[in-house]
Amino acid sequence: MNLDPVIPFLLLGILARLVKSDLRLPEALYEALSVYLLLALGLKGGVELAKHPAAGLLPQVLAVIALGLVLPLLAFAGLRRMVGLDRPNAAAIAAHYGSVSVVTFAAGVAWLETRGIAFEAYLALFLAILEVPGIVVGVLLARGLRVGAGFGPMLREVLTGKSVLLLLGGLAIGALLGPAGLKSTAPLFVDLFKGALCLFMLELGLVTGRQLSQLRRSGPRLVVFAVLTPLLFGFAGAALGNLLGLSVGGAALLGTLAASASYIAAPAAMRVAVPEANPGISLPIVLGVTFPFNVFIGLEVYHAYAVHLAR
Amino acid sequence: MEPHWHARKLLTIIAEAALERALVAEVRHAGALGYTIAEVRGAGQAGERAGDWEGERSIEFRVVCDEATAGVIADRVMGRYARDYSLVLYLSDVQVRRAERFT
């Protein structure tokens, strides 16, 4: 069996929280690890991006943006009709599911690498792109077209936030330096990637464990939503990847991206732009259900579906 | 009391980190000359805020100013944010040196 190292680390973190351990990773380490992961993903993608003509990528980029606009609309419809949520909360949660999670993507990359499955590393570009439309759609759904004066600053904060900045920056540096130029930094940015991801998973396990204990607040309907949505979106993402001519690994990774839910950029943006939405019901399902579901089960399922599509 | 101490008020606001920019804007708007921010964690009526990841940080926001300015800041913050955000506000007496640094 090919057990991914990230899984036991995530479980250990959850367990530590459940037994009320005093384990606490320093905030600075969490911060440093997230900067590291973003740069590592960006650099790796950038080296590969340089090999592709920009014009050839344009259709893929446009299709991915369209995906990022459609997914939150679907999530919103489901939350309003099937879960019966009010407009602000439905819009805020739709933004979470429309946007993406960097660490879920990183887990997907590690999953494919562990199995020696090839994939397009330049998908890190789509990771950066997909962070934004879900949040914009979420705010529009909550506010209508009268978004008010707060919209500009909110959008600016998302676009200049560390995840978009470091991913795009890493992609640019990677493309600029090329494989030869990056060789000298490979011991840090390539070799240590999985180990660093494991440490980050331990930390996220602690956060997930805490959100799990709050799950009661979200209610059973939202918990079902938090499992069905990534499955549905994951299939949609993998299907789009297949349509765009990505490899099996690439389609699985696009599926993983579509299935993932943002737990950093979206909550922060929604707190400012849609303050009446309650993070007490959205964070438990995003972090307590969807994130571990994707890591434990989703990665496997989206890959299997991508294999099926390629036949 | 030493003659070179001057009476002022210390307004302390404990809030979600998401409100940081908004609080800075309110303080500037009210005419206070400075502020201090610290990251904190704790628990209250709205539950525990452990501050163990970036989505759950809380800040302690401190402003030293005169009573009227503190009142303006507190009223605007309460009016705009108390409904949707967890907030704690309290006012205390302090003595400062260099009174011209505080409105």
Range(s) of the domain holding residue B13: 7-48+56-64+85-103
Rounded to whole angstroms, how far apart are CA atoms A122 and A140?
30
Q: Do A262 and A96 form a contact (C-beta atoms < 8 A)? A: yes
Let me know how long chain B is: 103
The answer, yes or no, to whether ipTM is higher than 0.95 is: no
Determine, yes or no, domain membership for B32.
yes
Beta bridge partners of B62: B12, B36
Residue A129's nearest CA partner among A217, A69, A203 is: A69
Q: Is the pLDDT of residue A196 over 90?
A: yes
Is the distance from CB of A164 to CB of A132 less than 8 angstroms? yes
CA angle B38-A282-A126, nearest 5°?
A: 90
Domains of chain A from N-terminus onward: 25-310 (1.20.1530.20)
Does B69 reside within a domain? no
Cα separation, A13 vs A31, in Å, equals: 17
Distance from CA of B27 to the nearest CA of A (A): 18
Residue B12 lies in a domain: yes
B90, part of any domain: yes
Are A208 and A45 spatial neighbours (Cβ–Cβ below 8 Å)? Answer: no
Q: Do B18 and A30 touch (CB under 8 A)?
A: no
Strands, sheet with B36-40, edge to edge from the N-terminal-most edge strand:
B36-40, B58-65, B6-16, B87-96
- The verdict on residue B33 lying in a domain is yes
Euclidean distance between CA atoms A204 and A138, whole angstroms: 25
Cβ <8 Å between A280 and B84: no
Question: What single-letter amino acid sits at A296?
Answer: F
Which chain B residue is nearest to residue A206, measuring alpha carbons?
A: B52
Q: How many domains does chain B have?
A: 1
pLDDT of A224 over the 60 cut: yes
Extract the tokens encoding A15: 């367990």
- Taking only the tens place, the pLDDT of each residue in A94-103 is 999 999 999 9
Contact between residue A110 and residue A197 where contact means Cβ atoms under 8 Å apart: yes
| pTM of this structure | 0.91
> pLDDT tens, B18-77?
899 999 999 999 999 999 999 999 988 777 787 777 778 899 999 999 999 999 999 999
Per-residue tokens: A75: 């999530």
Check which CATH number belongs to the domain holding B94 and give it. Answer: 3.30.70.120
Closest Cβ–Cβ partner in A207, A268, A283 for B52: A207
* Among the partner residues A210, A275, A280, nearest to B50 by beta-carbon distance: A210
* Residues A4, A110 contacting (CB under 8 angstroms): yes
* B71 is a domain residue: no
pLDDT of A1 reads 54
